[in-house]
Structure 1
Amino acid sequence: MSTRQHHYQFAHVVFRSIALRNAAGMLAAPLDEFTARTTNLWIGVGNRLPEEQRLSAEGLAMNHVPLGAGSGLLVRLPPALFPPEAHFALVVGPDVVGEPRYFVLEESLDVMTRQRTTVLGAWDEGTHLNLGPGPAADPDAFVSAVAARLA
């Protein structure tokens, strides 16, 4: 099986684009309201795809996390199964690094061992950046990896 378009389009295209244009607004929005809007966005992305490619929003959640002098918005995505689907995304606002940043922890396969692994990725104005091996698919480990990268 291959990457599911619903998962990929949401995390790597639609949500990423919104995050890089409006990170400060995302971080300032009331979390329950923003969670509901994000769930509707997930459903909307799916509605653009054939019905058999649509995925449930189950598992989609978000919370604010401390990050440097500010905070980030951690997005837990529905379970990632295939490379390069994202386990998590982290929206970093301009209060932390001067400009919005968008990081993802992607499902991957080690090319040598064919074992499942993760890759830390980021997006910069439409360019995907592979930042190397990622931590376990754990939200705290992901946030720590991004914080270390930003330090």
Structure 2
Amino acid sequence: MNENFIPVGEEYPHHNHLVHRVLRDVALDDPGATIDRLAHFDDALAFLGSLCQRVEQVCGLRRPMFFHPAFMPAQPQTIAGRRAVTVLMPPACFPTEAHFVAIVEGRPEDADAPDTEARASGGASPSVPAVPDEGWGDAPQATSGRYFTLEHVMAVDDAPPDTMLCEWRSGAHVNYGPGPEPCHDAFAEAIARVLSNES
């Protein structure tokens, strides 16, 4: 076994630190520039590589073999009429690890704080109230960009694992309730419903 790598199935901090701190802060600080860099393959590799290096400076060099930008393909697209990019993350096996991240270019009204209790897309029941998460630090607040995550939820008994559609917005980790299956199109459609319900 290569001691430089963490075995598959062993929990590690790199995933959450990248999703909920490093990439989050960069994306919300300048969503347009982040989308531009991730939209081009070579730029995306270099950009994500630099972010992974920042994560390793905090979390250590010993990491899973798949924690590498080559395993994090980015796909530019349009979601609800807005420029966006989605990023497939390394395999999510533990709570709050993300299957996907999406950066969506915002509009001026997006800089406003969300309702104190967000509702799941498609008219589902109310979700957990939006609250700051002290463990990940405050997210940038003066931004109109949107940063969505599709997070892993541990399975109960023999049921398959679930997902949770979430967003970092106005310094809070917003929970929109149960998410779709962890595939690209379903994630983009769920985000589109959230944005369409706001208009």
- Give the TM-score, by structure 2 length: 0.67
In the other structure, the counterpart of 2:137 is none
- For structure 1, the residue ranges without an aligned partner over 5 or more in a row are none
Aligned to 1:77: 89
Counterpart position of 1:51: 61
Matched, 1:86 2:98: yes
Q: Which of the pair is proportionally richer in strand? A: 1
- Once residues 126 and 110 of structure 1 are traced to their aligned partners in structure 2, the CA distance between those partners, rounded to angstroms, is 29
Aligned ranges for residues 108-119 of structure 1 at < 5 Å?
A: 108-110=153-155, 115-119=160-164
Superposition pairs of residues 87-102 of structure 1, within 5 angstroms:
87-94=99-106, 98=110, 99-102=144-147
Aligned pair in 2 of structure 1 residues 104, 47: CA closer, same or farther (>3 Å)?
same
Moved over 6 A (4+): none
Query: Equivalents in 2 of 1:118, 1:105: separation in Å?
Result: 6
3-state DSSP of counterpart to 2:180: coil
Identity of aligned residues (%): 28
The answer to whether structure 1 residue 146 and structure 2 residue 191 are counterparts is: yes
Larger Rg: 2
In the alignment, the residues of structure 1 paired with residue 163 and residue 11 of structure 2 have an alpha-carbon distance, to the nearest angstrom, of 15
Letter aligned with residue 71 of structure 1: R
Decide whether aligned partners of structure 1 residues 74 and 141 sit closer, same or farther in structure 2, where only a CA change above 3 A counts. Answer: same
State the 1:36 CA deviation: 1.8
Residue type matched to 1:21 in 2?
A: D
SS in 1 for 2:59: coil
Higher share in helix: 1
Cα offset for 1:52? 3.2
Number of residue-to-residue matches in the alignment: 151
Unaligned runs of 5+ in 2: 1-8, 111-143
Q: Which residue of 1 aligns with 2:26?
A: 18
- Paired with 2:21 and 2:58, the residues of 1 have a C-alpha distance of 13
Whether the 8 Å contact between 1:83 and 1:106 is mirrored in structure 2 is yes
Contact 1:90/1:104 (CA < 8 Å) preserved in 2? yes
Question: RMSD of aligned C-alpha atoms?
Answer: 2.3
Change over 3 Å in CA distance of 1:12–1:44 after alignment to 2: same
Separation (CA, whole Å) in 2 of partners of 1:110 and 1:96 = 38
**1:107–1:149 distance in 2 versus 1, CA, 3 Å:** same
CA-CA distance at 1:132 after TM superposition: 0.4
Structure 1 residue 116: Cα displacement: 1.2
In the TM superposition, residue 97 of structure 1 has moved relative to its aligned partner by 6.7
Distance 1:130 1:120 in 2: 6
